[in-house]
């Protein structure tokens, strides 16, 4: 595999595309397929054949507005159609090059599309994720080739460090620093792991990236492998994401065939393989030491850190663990440079962040925005506000370790530090909007139930503490709790937060603490309305 070969594929692919006057992109992601987009694609292909139009129909990754699926985009004019059914196919094809089918048209001249900045999602919705040629035609694997042939591993790390990229899995640890530690840690073998165990309820950023642009992850991981000196990578992905797994398998096969993965990549002495490991329904495996235990075939129980996986990871070897979105940033950084990347975002949080915007909001879907954008812009401009004339109440970020942010903090910029300051957490990118009808004690109970059932059971505070806190919240929602119960709840929040072994337990009290901080009156109302006798009565 040489640069000429990449160029040849790219040229051929572009030439093939030139043959068609019209390009019809159909979203082929889990959510749109659930709304029959596979049938829409089939119908469009047949309609194009029947009409004999110079038109190419292709399945692509997420185009963002998942609630309006199936989405179809027509290029070169950029018309977007929403809620397309197979029955609409003929009409869409008929109108190609003419005025669009107005009843299906989805206005893209709105903040939802205009305010986004696409780095991670640059290929989503553009390429066919099951064809490596399409990826190559958009300069795919060029960054890898350049890194391998013109840069030393430490130069690669320097570029990542200079970009200011911070881990997108939640805590925001400096990616460059992590890579440096792994590179410097002595070990006869090293490993690179991609954490695709996206377990936060209400988050699907990683699934979309894996389904829509799997080669970007492979390329990012391979560059990382070169930088830290690893020859084996693992993608740990949830078994609940069968389509992502399938696309990754296809991508790995194609990349190997092309010589951009496997032995002697791009004709160099560097070899790197990637295997997929399936999760099996345990949220705690998102924690890196638990994830490692799971890849090793054991129960996903975290162990105390230090030692950190960067020094003592998979089978005791130095191991680099980044999440999907972090790896997806690597290729653009390598291709366009650290300065370009660090010009986006805020002083301490560079680049963009992908969010899964869901809940009580007009535009549900996947968005990518520059760091530093305000929550208000996300919720009211991009998200289109709250439907049915209801009032905004809170937005929840950071999943089960995160918090509920009230109206008063909506103007705060979205970055790692600001979110922590107001008692929430960046997390992996789930953003759930709640309207006035949501009860915050119920919300806190929902997340506590999640943490309780996902606790691995290894350490006492998390195992028993989450169960006790859940019981207290249950009592509150049943209007049976007393002030003493609330005080006990607050005491347990403190103990569990500071004594639990891993992030799951340490973060478990956050939804309670943040709702207590901003919506304490809702807890007090439950206590005032309570019938304290009910708790004692005979069953």
Query: Is residue 304 a contact point for other proteins (CB under 8 A)?
Result: yes
- For the record, the structure tokens of 524 come out as 């007090």
- Which of 53/303 has CB closer to other proteins? 303
Please, which of residues 101-120 interact with other proteins by CB under 8 A?
Answer: none
Q: CB neighbours (10 Å) of residue 525? A: 15
Site string for other proteins, 140-179 (x = CB under 8 A): ----------------------------------------
Query: Is residue 495 a contact point for other proteins (CB under 8 A)?
Result: yes
Q: What is the three-class DSSP state of 513?
A: helix
The least CB distance from residue 460 to other proteins, in Å, is: 5
Query: Is residue 453 a contact point for other proteins (CB under 8 A)?
Result: yes
Stretch that binds other proteins, among 14-22, 147-155, 238-246, 323-331 (CB under 8 A): 238-246
- For the record, the structure tokens of 321 come out as 């663990």
The least CB distance from residue 136 to other proteins, in Å, is: 28
Task: Answer for the pair 354, 366: CB distance below 8 angstroms, yes or no.
Answer: yes
Please, which of residues 18-77 interact with other proteins by CB under 8 A?
Answer: 30-31, 33-35, 65-67, 69
Query: Is residue 450 a contact point for other proteins (CB under 8 A)?
Result: yes
Please, which of residues 506-535 interact with other proteins by CB under 8 A?
Answer: 535
- For the record, the structure tokens of 181 come out as 């530690």
Q: What is the three-class DSSP state of 39?
A: helix
Distance, in Å, from the CA atom of 214 to the CA atom of 393, rounded to the nearest integer, reads 36
- Which of 146/482 has CB closer to other proteins? 482
Query: Is residue 355 a contact point for other proteins (CB under 8 A)?
Result: no
Query: Is residue 340 a contact point for other proteins (CB under 8 A)?
Result: no
Task: Answer for the pair 375, 405: CB distance below 8 angstroms, yes or no.
Answer: yes
- Which of 17/243 has CB closer to other proteins? 243
Burial class (CB in 10 A: 0-12, 13-18, 19+), 225: buried
Q: CB neighbours (10 Å) of residue 273? A: 17
Of the candidates 198, 219, 311, 325, which one interacts with other proteins according to CB under 8 A? 198
Of the candidates 74, 356, 371, 448, which one interacts with other proteins according to CB under 8 A? 356
Query: Is residue 202 a contact point for other proteins (CB under 8 A)?
Result: yes
Q: What is the three-class DSSP state of 321?
A: strand
- Which of 350/475 has CB closer to other proteins? 475
Distance, in Å, from the CA atom of 221 to the CA atom of 10, rounded to the nearest integer, reads 22
- Which of 57/282 has CB closer to other proteins? 282
Query: Is residue 393 a contact point for other proteins (CB under 8 A)?
Result: no
Task: Answer for the pair 515, 444: CB distance below 8 angstroms, yes or no.
Answer: yes
Distance, in Å, from the CA atom of 258 to the CA atom of 265, rounded to the nearest integer, reads 9
Stretch that binds other proteins, among 87-95, 100-108, 459-467, 521-529 (CB under 8 A): 459-467
Say how many residues make up the chain.
539
Query: Is residue 297 a contact point for other proteins (CB under 8 A)?
Result: yes
DSSP 365-417: EEEEEETT-BHHIIIIIIS---GGGPPEEEEEESGGG-EEEEGGGTTSB-SHH
Of the candidates 102, 109, 150, 538, which one interacts with other proteins according to CB under 8 A? 538
Q: Rg of the Cα trace of the chain?
A: 24
The least CB distance from residue 360 to other proteins, in Å, is: 6
Please, which of residues 464-493 interact with other proteins by CB under 8 A?
Answer: 464-468, 471, 488, 491-492
Please, which of residues 252-281 interact with other proteins by CB under 8 A?
Answer: 277-281
- Which of 30/349 has CB closer to other proteins? 30
Please, which of residues 362-381 interact with other proteins by CB under 8 A?
Answer: 364-366
Contacts of 159 (CB under 8 A, 6+ apart): 151, 333, 334, 337, 338
């Amino acid at each position: 595999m040489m640069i000429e070969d990449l160029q040849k594929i790219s040229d051929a692919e572009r030439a093939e595309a030139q043959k068609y006057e019209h390009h019809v992109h159909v979203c082929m992601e889990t959510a749109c397929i659930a709304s029959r987009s596979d049938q829409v694609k089939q119908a469009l292909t047949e309609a194009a054949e029947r009409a004999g139009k110079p038109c190419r129909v292709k399945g692509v990754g997420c185009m963002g507005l998942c609630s309006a699926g199936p989405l179809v985009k027509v290029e070169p004019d950029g018309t977007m159609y929403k809620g397309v059914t197979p029955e609409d196919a003929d009409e869409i094809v008929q109108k190609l090059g003419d005025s669009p089918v107005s009843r299906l048209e989805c206005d893209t001249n709105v903040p939802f599309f205009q305010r986004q900045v696409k780095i991670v999602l640059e290929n989503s919705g553009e390429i066919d994720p099951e064809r490596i040629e399409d990826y190559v035609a958009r300069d795919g694997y060029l960054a890898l080739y350049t890194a391998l042939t013109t840069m030393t591993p430490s130069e690669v790390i320097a570029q990542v460090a200079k970009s200011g990229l911070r881990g997108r899995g939640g805590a925001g640890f400096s990616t460059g620093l992590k890579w440096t530690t792994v590179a410097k840690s002595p070990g006869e073998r090293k490993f690179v792991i991609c954490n695709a165990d996206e377990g936060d309820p209400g988050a699907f950023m990683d699934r979309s990236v894996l389904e829509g642009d799997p080669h970007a992850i492979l390329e990012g991981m391979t560059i990382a492998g070169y930088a830290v000196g690893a020859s084996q990578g693992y993608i740990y992905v949830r078994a609940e994401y069968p389509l992502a797994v399938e696309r990754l398998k296809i991508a790995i096969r194609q990349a190997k065939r092309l010589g951009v993965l496997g032995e002697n990549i791009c004709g160099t002495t560097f070899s790197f393989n990637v295997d997929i490991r399936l999760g099996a329904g345990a949220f705690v495996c998102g924690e890196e030491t638990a994830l490692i235990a799971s890849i090793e075939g054991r129960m996903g129980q975290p162990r105390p850190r230090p030692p950190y996986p960067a020094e003592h990871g998979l089978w005791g070897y130095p191991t680099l663990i980044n999440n999907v979105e972090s790896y997806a940033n690597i290729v653009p950084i390598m291709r366009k440079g650290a300065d370009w990347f660090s010009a986006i975002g805020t002083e301490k949080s560079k680049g963009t962040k992908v969010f899964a915007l869901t809940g009580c909001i007009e535009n549900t879907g996947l968005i990518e925005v520059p760091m530093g954008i305000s929550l208000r812009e996300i919720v009211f401009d991009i998200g289109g506000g709250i439907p049915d004339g209801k009032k905004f109440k809170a937005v929840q970020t950071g999943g089960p370790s995160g918090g509920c942010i009230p109206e008063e903090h909506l103007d705060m910029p979205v970055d790692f530090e600001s979110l922590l300051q107001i008692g929430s957490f960046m997390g992996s990118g789930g953003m759930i909007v709640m309207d006035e009808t949501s009860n915050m004690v119920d919300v806190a109970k929902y997340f506590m139930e999640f943490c309780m059932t996902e606790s691995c059971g290894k350490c006492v505070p998390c195992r028993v503490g989450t169960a006790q806190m859940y019981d207290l919240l249950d009592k509150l929602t049943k209007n049976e709790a007393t002030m003493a119960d609330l005080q006990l709840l607050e005491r347990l929040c403190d103990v569990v937060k500071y004594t639990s072994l891993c992030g799951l337990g340490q973060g478990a009290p956050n939804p309670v603490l943040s709702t207590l901080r901003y919506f304490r009156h809702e807890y007090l109302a439950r206590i005032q309305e309570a019938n304290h006798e009910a708790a004692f009565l005979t069953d």
